[in-house]
Structure 1
Amino acid sequence: MWSPRHGRVTRTLLLAVTPTLAACFVDVPPALSGGASSEGEGPGEGTTGTTGLTTEDVHDDADSSSKGCPTTAPPGKWYLDQDGDDWGVEPAQVACDQPPGTAAERGDCDDGDPERFPGSLEVCDGEDDDCDEIVDEFSPVNANCNGCALAERDGAPHWFCKDDAIDWVAAREACTELGWTVELLSIHSEADHAWARTQAQALYEGVDPMGTFWIGLRRADPHWASCTADPAQWEWSDGSPLDYAAWSMGQPDSAPCDALCEPVDALDEACPRENCGHMLYLEGGWNDRACFAAGVGYACRAAPPP
């Protein structure tokens, strides 16, 4: 491969012969000029002449980065691959041929474990096996993990988890610990809602159908201390708007609510507010409830891939 610096260089050699010193020649440094030159009979004939060279004649090989490589293949980038899984880590090294112990692909999240690399099958081991920054999500070999039924919808991993006596705050923490893009379940269409309800029914067969199955419904911060039962005050815990709703009849009702007190936080039992939402999975409707209430489980959802 020629260097970008490889260009046209004309080197001119001027040989001058004077009438009085016919046997003496004066070397003149080559002129780095692309201009035309006059042609004579050549040195030794008693006349002055110049000889020009073009890029077809002279090549500048000052940039030797391509030396030793096929002219049709530039040097490649290779990444250290200590565990031999064909995925490496930064920084890259540049070479014509692949050095031993390297890989052409980068992005390995654990170069000491050959079972962890982008595209690996996720298993229930508490680790990010496929290097997508999510732990223990669904894969063809991982449909259940730690009391959760795993599924995938529109490319987004989902978890439906049994957990007796868990409150909304703890349920949200359990979701976010699975990955930075994971939150309590948000629902944005009737199809999403029907699918989530089906998953919950399969998981909770035989469990109290009125039990609190936490989803990402929450009252927005500016209305946290309010006793007003207004569906417009609600949002999803991932920050997305409530663009679809499946409230049960008469919900949210924000009851009970003591207007004379102001809650310190979501788990303040001395000043209860129904600021968190759950799904009555058998009925399918949503209901507002105090965030510190004991639930029977929760659902998580990771952001779909870009």
Structure 2
Amino acid sequence: MRSPRLGSVTRTLLLAVTPTLCAAGCFVDVPPALTGGSSDGGDATEGTTTSTTLATTGDIHDDTDASSKGCPTTSPPGKWYLDQDGDDWGVEPAQIACDEPPGTAPERGDCDDHDSERFPGSLEVCDGEDDDCDEIVDEFSPVNEACHGCALAERDGAPHWFCKVDAIDWVAARAACSALGWTVDLLSLHSEADDLWARKQVEALFEGGDPMGTVWIGLRRADPHWTGCEANPAHWEWSDGSPVDYSAWSMGQPDSASCDPMCEPVDALDAACPRENCGQMLYMLGGWNDRACFSAGVGYACRAAPPP
């Protein structure tokens, strides 16, 4: 029979040896207690509270760390744009920050960050500059109704120019319009109301004047018919590419006068081979007239595309 005392000694030796064996790689299928309690009878409840606090600390957001967890005053962090001229409009690139950094603005779109008088919404003046940052120069504003011989106006949100000159051909007139901005072209008219309004603007500019006075507008013979002599209103278009969906030709016009069908013009200003391929507006008598593009007109009208 095994001695009870011997069994007790054997258990004591096994318990003493076990940590050494596990250090060499044994498997324990009972997870360690997370109570924090001690073998000497310590308070298990206190150990549990401490362990729970440690386990959840990583889930608590520190709002003072704005780089990754938001801002105390702005959520999410804002975009700020460099504003060197102090007009409250900035330029790219943006900075990301909780609070507005010095020398920045919350709005972008400044077209000259070294001139505090030029920013979106500024009033346009006659200075050859794009004061309001819309990529157009010297257009109408409440303080800019005339500029460089042109009467300025706005209709349906689109800037208009009605210009009086000594002599200008159609090509030069179109170039003068384009110099005002990439969306500006010679005037196109798409309704009777547009036509009547434009004629009144020109008549006021010329103060009556010559009843036969003409102003270049954007009428032109379409490319497929440029070298032809047909007097067909359907062969015409506007220089801005829009169709002629309203017609105000004077009686008998277009007539394609002095057109030699055996002659093909080199370009629009080829006086050796005339073609009445450009259009004018008779501002007092009313109506449109076709005329050679190299003819000298006394005025022209421009229109910018309306804002989207």
TM-score (norm. length: structure 1): 0.82
Provide the C-alpha distance between the structure 2 equivalents of 1:104 and 1:55, rounded to a whole number of angstroms.
41
Higher Rg of the two aligned structures? 2
Provide the C-alpha distance between the structure 1 equivalents of 2:205 and 2:16, rounded to a whole number of angstroms.
108
Q: CA deviation at 1:205?
A: 1.8
- Equivalent residues of 2:208, 2:284 under 8 A apart: no
Q: CA deviation at 1:40?
A: 8.1
Provide the C-alpha distance between the structure 2 equivalents of 1:40 and 1:154, rounded to a whole number of angstroms.
76
Three-state SS of the structure 2 residue aligned to 1:115 is coil
Provide the C-alpha distance between the structure 2 equivalents of 1:208 and 1:55, rounded to a whole number of angstroms.
93
Q: Which moved more, 1:198-207 or 1:176-185?
A: 198-207
Q: From the superposition, tell whether residues 43 and 138 of structure 1 become closer, same or farther in structure 2 (CA, over 3 Å).
A: same
Provide the C-alpha distance between the structure 2 equivalents of 1:200 and 1:87, rounded to a whole number of angstroms.
37
Q: From the superposition, tell whether residues 45 and 88 of structure 1 become closer, same or farther in structure 2 (CA, over 3 Å).
A: same
Provide the C-alpha distance between the structure 1 equivalents of 2:303 and 2:96, rounded to a whole number of angstroms.
41
- Equivalent residues of 2:249, 2:289 under 8 A apart: yes
Q: Which residue of 2 aligns with 1:167?
A: 169
Three-state SS of the structure 2 residue aligned to 1:202 is helix
Q: Which residue of 1 aligns with 2:44?
A: none
Q: Which residue of 1 aligns with 2:26?
A: none
- Equivalent residues of 1:215, 1:300 under 8 A apart: yes
- Equivalent residues of 1:66, 1:74 under 8 A apart: no
Q: From the superposition, tell whether residues 253 and 68 of structure 1 become closer, same or farther in structure 2 (CA, over 3 Å).
A: closer
Q: From the superposition, tell whether residues 22 and 143 of structure 1 become closer, same or farther in structure 2 (CA, over 3 Å).
A: farther
Provide the C-alpha distance between the structure 1 equivalents of 2:281 and 2:131, rounded to a whole number of angstroms.
32
- 1:131-170 correspondence to structure 2 within 5 Å: 131-170=133-172
Q: From the superposition, tell whether residues 179 and 55 of structure 1 become closer, same or farther in structure 2 (CA, over 3 Å).
A: farther
Q: Which residue of 2 aligns with 1:176?
A: 178
Of the three residues 259, 262, 267, the one matched with 2:261 is 259
Cα-to-partner distance string for 1:159-200 (whole Å, 9 max, x where unaligned): 000012100000000000000000000000111111111111
State yes or no: 1:244 paired with 2:239. Answer: no
Of the three residues 98, 115, 118, the one matched with 1:116 is 118
Q: Which residue of 1 aligns with 2:92?
A: 90
Three-state SS of the structure 2 residue aligned to 1:20 is helix
- 1:1-306 correspondence to structure 2 within 5 Å: 20=15, 44=38, 57-59=57-59, 65-66=67-68, 69-70=71-72, 73-306=75-308
Q: Which residue of 2 aligns with 1:9?
A: none
Provide the C-alpha distance between the structure 1 equivalents of 2:218 and 2:54, rounded to a whole number of angstroms.
73
Provide the C-alpha distance between the structure 2 equivalents of 1:268 and 1:229, rounded to a whole number of angstroms.
19
TM-score (norm. length: structure 2): 0.82
1:95 alignment partner AA: A
Provide the C-alpha distance between the structure 2 equivalents of 1:185 and 1:55, rounded to a whole number of angstroms.
74
Number of aligned residue pairs: 276
1:253 alignment partner AA: D
- Equivalent residues of 1:212, 1:294 under 8 A apart: no
Provide the C-alpha distance between the structure 2 equivalents of 1:178 and 1:195, rounded to a whole number of angstroms.
22
- Equivalent residues of 2:188, 2:303 under 8 A apart: yes
Provide the C-alpha distance between the structure 1 equivalents of 2:275 and 2:34, rounded to a whole number of angstroms.
103
Provide the C-alpha distance between the structure 1 equivalents of 2:248 and 2:153, rounded to a whole number of angstroms.
22
1:83 alignment partner AA: D
> Where in structure 2 are there 5+ consecutive unaligned residues?
1-13, 24-30, 41-47
Provide the C-alpha distance between the structure 2 equivalents of 1:40 and 1:215, rounded to a whole number of angstroms.
89
Q: CA deviation at 1:68?
A: 7.9
Q: Which moved more, 1:211-220 or 1:115-124?
A: 211-220
- Equivalent residues of 1:168, 1:293 under 8 A apart: yes
Q: CA deviation at 1:207?
A: 2.9
Three-state SS of the structure 2 residue aligned to 1:268 is coil
- Equivalent residues of 1:66, 1:75 under 8 A apart: no
Q: From the superposition, tell whether residues 45 and 271 of structure 1 become closer, same or farther in structure 2 (CA, over 3 Å).
A: same
- Equivalent residues of 2:254, 2:289 under 8 A apart: yes
Q: Which residue of 1 aligns with 2:4?
A: none
Cα-to-partner distance string for 1:84-122 (whole Å, 9 max, x where unaligned): 100011111111111111111111000010000000000
Cα-to-partner distance string for 1:138-166 (whole Å, 9 max, x where unaligned): 00000000000000000000000001210
Provide the C-alpha distance between the structure 1 equivalents of 2:34 and 2:154, rounded to a whole number of angstroms.
83
